[in-house]
Amino acid sequence: MRTQVGIIGAGPAGLLLSHLLHLRGISSVVLEKRSRDYVERRVRAGVLEQGTVDALVEAGVGERMLREGLPHHGIELRYGGAGHRIPFEKLVPGRSITVYGQQEVVKDLIAARLAAGGDVRFEVEDVAVHGLEPGSDTGPYVTFGGERLDCDVIAGCDGFHGVSRPSIPEGVLSVFEREYPFAWLGILANVTPSSEELIYTRTERGFALHSMRSPTVSRFYLQVPADTSVDDWPDERIWDELKARLESVPGFTLTTGEITEKGVTPMRSFVVEPMQYGRLYLAGDAAHIVPPTGAKGLNLAVADVRVLTEALEAYFSDGSTALLDGYSEACLKRVWRAQHFSWWMTTLLHTFEEDDAYGRRLQLSYLDYVTSSEAAATTLAENYVGLPYGR
């Protein structure tokens, strides 16, 4: 089998890349380890930056998102017994976010790929990457389930635990990382959101986030110990803890109800440099991870894929490699801005060591600053809605 771009992973990065390449007449095959059903049900991100929304609309896969997604023009920071709104419409006019589940984006992309006759293979086993070494006489190829896919280029879009990144020889990549001493317990519940906008809450009991998916489905996260298991969290304990943290301002009552999904997410910051080796290009979580506090992971995956598409278009049209060679450098500027923002939001809002009174004072000082200074609030707002492309 032969294709121009072999794509490993059918998450947002791999699927969008395949679709964008198709629109430019470049062939690809997407190889995914999990079933279609699994990939379409996996509950993850929910916040799309303006640039992500624009990219999906431009690619012709934004129709349902525009219909069902929830445009938001601000978020609330809640701490010290009061809520403070960060008004995007005032601070970053014309830029906002859209709340639309990642698995809905994935469903829309899979539908678009299949409708266009795209080759997306699910439940593919033993994917391995070969022929990356400079001067290799085979060129790059991927093996899976006893088959072989020869390609001009391989895109590693297989997430943090994939096979692409580990197939790069040792010593090539520099790794930058930070782990956090806590995790997030995330739930979906069939309850009407108790707020119209997202609420990021800092309390002495830990962080909590009130998000949503639709007018009848809410999404919540709780900061929990890193070694926690969902079994430690029966529904009643979750609601009690969410109430204790979110009902920290007068007059706010949390609506509770049926919990339909629970999961624990570790918190990690991670980047490899460069995001490429030979004709293998890493995109999305395969190359970098952010803690979800800044809502940046999916948006970075989309940004990488846009850069890679442009580089591949140039390569396949006239053989020029300048953009491909500069792929990693072009992506990393945005990646590091998002790394900083995600680390900063995480540091600002979570409880670290209990006895770190100095750290707590710093958090409260910065929260007071960001909620009272228009300059500081604008910094938060412009990063949250996403910096414009090409900056």
Q: Which is nearer to ligand PHB, 276 or 351 (CB)?
A: 351
Find the DSSP H helices in 69-185.
Answer: 88-91, 102-115
Neighbours of 94 (CB within 10 A): 8
What 3-state DSSP class applies to 341?
helix
C-alpha gyration radius of the chain? 21
In the complex, the smallest distance separating the C-beta of residue 158 from ligand RFL, rounded to whole angstroms, is 4
Annotated catalytic residue 292: yes
Dihedral sign for Cα atoms in the order 154, 155, 161, 162: negative
User: What letter represents residue 288's amino acid?
Assistant: H
CA dist., res. 133 & res. 317, Å (int): 24
Residue closer to ligand RFL, measured from CB, 368 or 382 = 382
Q: Is 345 in the site for ligand RFL (CB under 6 A)?
A: no
Q: Which of 6, 12, 62, 101 binds ligand RFL (CB under 6 A)?
A: 12
Q: Are 22 and 67 in contact (CB under 8 A)?
A: no
CB of 279 to ligand RFL, least distance (A): 18
Q: State yes or no: is 296 an active-site residue.
A: yes
Picked from ligand RFL, ligand PHB, none, the partner binding residue 386 (CB below 5 to 8 A depending on kind) is: none
Residues that bind ligand PHB (CB under 6 A): 45-47, 198, 209, 211, 219, 292-293, 295
Q: Is the Cβ–Cβ distance between 121 and 30 less than 8 Å?
A: yes
Q: Out of 19, 33, 210, 296, pick the active-site residue.
A: 296
User: Does 386 contact ligand RFL by CB under 6 A?
Assistant: no
Q: Which is nearer to ligand PHB, 113 or 219 (CB)?
A: 219
Verify whether residue 384 is a known catalytic residue.
yes
CA distance 111 to 371: 42
Q: Which does 219 bind (CB under 5 to 8 A by kind): ligand RFL, ligand PHB, none?
A: ligand PHB
Which residue, 227, 208, 165, is CA-closest to 13?
A: 165
Task: List the one residue out of 108, 123, 28 whose CA is nearest residue 66.
Answer: 108
Q: At what angle do helices 12-23 and 102-115 cross, to 10 degrees?
A: 40
Q: Which stretch binds ligand RFL (CB under 6 A): 78-86, 192-200, 290-298, 314-322?
A: 290-298
Residue 32 contact partner, candidates ligand RFL, ligand PHB, none, CB within 5 to 8 A by sort of partner: ligand RFL
Q: What CA–CA distance (Å, rounded) separates 41 from 43?
A: 6
Number of residues that bind ligand RFL (CB under 6 A): 36
Q: Which member of 7, 26, 45, 348 binds ligand RFL (CB under 6 A)? A: 45
As a whole number of angstroms, the distance between CA 22 and CA 225 comes to 44
Give the C-alpha separation, 174 to 132, whole Å. 18
DSSP state of 198: -
Q: What does 127 bind: ligand RFL, ligand PHB, none (CB cut-off 5 to 8 Å by kind)?
A: ligand RFL
Measured between alpha carbons, how far is 299 from 297 in angstroms, rounded to an integer?
5
Q: Which stretch binds ligand RFL (CB under 6 A): 11-19, 21-29, 77-85, 166-174?
A: 11-19
Q: For residue 391, what are its two tokens?
A: 């900056």
Is residue 163 part of the contact set for ligand RFL (CB under 6 A)? yes
Q: From 37-45, 112-120, 145-153, 350-358, give the range in contact with ligand RFL by CB under 6 A.
A: 37-45
Which of 34, 205, 243, 262: binder of ligand RFL (CB under 6 A)?
34
* CB 117, min distance to ligand PHB, A: 32
* 281 given a catalytic annotation: no
Amino acid letter, 209: L
Q: Residue 102 interacts with ligand RFL (CB under 6 A)?
A: yes
Cα-based torsion angle of the residue sequence 149, 151, 157, 163 in order, rounded to the nearest 10 degrees? 50
Residue in 33, 72, 288, 350 annotated catalytic? 72
Selected catalytic residue, list 200, 221, 281, 327: 200
| 54 vs 368, beta carbon nearer ligand RFL | 54
CB of 124 to ligand RFL, least distance (A): 6
Region of residue 135 (left: phi > 0; alpha: psi -120 to 50; beta: else): left
In a 3-state reduction of DSSP, which class is residue 133?
Answer: coil
By the criterion CB under 6 A, which residues form the site for ligand RFL?
8-14, 31-34, 39, 44-47, 102, 127, 157-159, 161-163, 184, 186, 265, 284-285, 292, 295-299, 301
